[in-house]
């Protein structure tokens, strides 16, 4: 009889351990899924453009759902397009640029989400000087960009 009691206790301990491990996996798996989504929030994906006169300093940002980013900036000295990747840290969007071969990488830019737009809070001050990059609005399609860039 004592042998049978030991086997029952072993089965109970093994079953309890299995239930504990399964519960831990089920409890932590949603957290892992949420942690993965914090780097690229799909709500921020899209095109952002400044609405200014053609001669004013301008900026355009495209954030891809796959984490790629394209920034076209014109601080008044000519247009430059930079390619890189973006990450959403929960309160701001950071764009890190790819380095051209043989050249140092551009400094990263940080954007603060606003109502239906983005505002640069960290940018390359050597390129922009004392000018603050303009506020960008989300939602333009390519055809709107064409009309805005060709109209005075």
Domains of the chain by residue range: 1-37, 42-150
Handedness of CA 94, 98, 100, 104 (dihedral sign): positive
Query: Which class does domain 42-150 fall in?
Result: mainly beta
Question: What are the tens digits of pLDDT across the range 4-28?
Answer: 554 544 556 555 445 444 454 445 4
How many CA atoms within 13 Å lie on the side-chain side of 53?
4
pTM: 0.65
Question: What are the tens digits of pLDDT across the range 23-53?
Answer: 544 454 444 444 444 456 778 889 999 988 8
């Amino acid at each position: 009889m004592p042998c049978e009691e030991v086997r029952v206790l072993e089965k109970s301990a093994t079953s309890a351990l299995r239930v504990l491990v399964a519960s831990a996996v089920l409890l932590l798996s949603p957290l892992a899924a949420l942690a993965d989504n914090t780097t690229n929030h799909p709500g921020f994906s899209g095109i952002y453009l400044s609405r200014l006169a053609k001669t004013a300093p301008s900026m355009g940002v495209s954030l891809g759902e796959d984490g790629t980013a394209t920034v076209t900036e014109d601080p008044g000295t000519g247009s430059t397009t930079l390619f890189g990747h973006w990450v959403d840290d929960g309160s701001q969007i950071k764009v890190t640029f790819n380095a051209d071969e043989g050249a140092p990488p551009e400094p990263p830019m940080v954007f603060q989400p606003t109502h239906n737009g983005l505002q640069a809070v960290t940018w390359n001050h050597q390129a922009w000087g004392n000018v603050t990059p303009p506020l960008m609005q989300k939602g333009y399609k390519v055809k709107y960009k064409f009309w805005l860039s060709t109209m005075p």
